[in-house]
Structure 1
Amino acid sequence: GDAYATGFGCSKSFSIAVEFYKRAHRMGDSSATFALGRCLHSGSGIAKNIPRAVALYRAAVNMGEVEAMHTLGFCYQYGIGVQKDLRKGLNLWREGARCGCGNAAFNLAYAYDCGENGAERNI
């Protein structure tokens, strides 16, 4: 799916990418589950469906997909497809950072540096 999503070595086509992501998701692939969620979130190659995207982000988090931890944390921080919950957002960023996700680490550090997003300023 990623090759079609980026056009790497083939013609770029999100709709074909989505079909590959769906197959891999059904086989339990965490990165495909996350990628399918991103497509649903943005409406790339498939009708936009934020609640379904969030459900796939949750599934990917449960499979250990670290980028999904960052993205689901962002959803909780800003109330995208879920009820806003700063604590859940921070906890997901913390877990993502612990697992090596640079984006989660950056957002967590920024929250602590600025005392924002539910974090007490702590630098």
Structure 2
Amino acid sequence: MGGVLVTLAVAVGTACAQMFMKAASRPGLGGRSHGLRRDDLLFWTDWIIAASVALIGSALALSFAGKPVPPLQLVASFLALLLGVTAFPIFLRSFAYAGRAEMEKWGWVVTANLVGIVFLLSAVLLGVRVYEFS
């Protein structure tokens, strides 16, 4: 459980730092004091890539250490790459984006980020199991 909490804290902290850097570096838009847009709150790409790299990295580490890689980890790594890097972006492009290449509704921003954090937490949980029980 500690790994999950640390992961959530790092993910939220990183997202906050990114938002601060974006807000500080952009001039205001349309009379607003900041230049942030709805799409600036999207962090799912960072989290899905981090999850994919973590799953593959831990599988490689186990392999190089001469330990067997659990089949569940191989399947999860493949699915994370397949769904997170190919299918999910296509899904979002088809349903979540308007003609201006911006997300239509706040619900899509929340949904995309929730999917990203689920991928990341799944990788952490799987990684914790791999190192605890192998």
TM-score (norm 2): 0.26
Where is the helix percentage greater, Structure 1 or Structure 2? 2
Which protein, 1 or 2, shows the higher relative CO under an 8 Å CA cutoff with sep ≥ 6? 2
TM-score (norm 1): 0.28
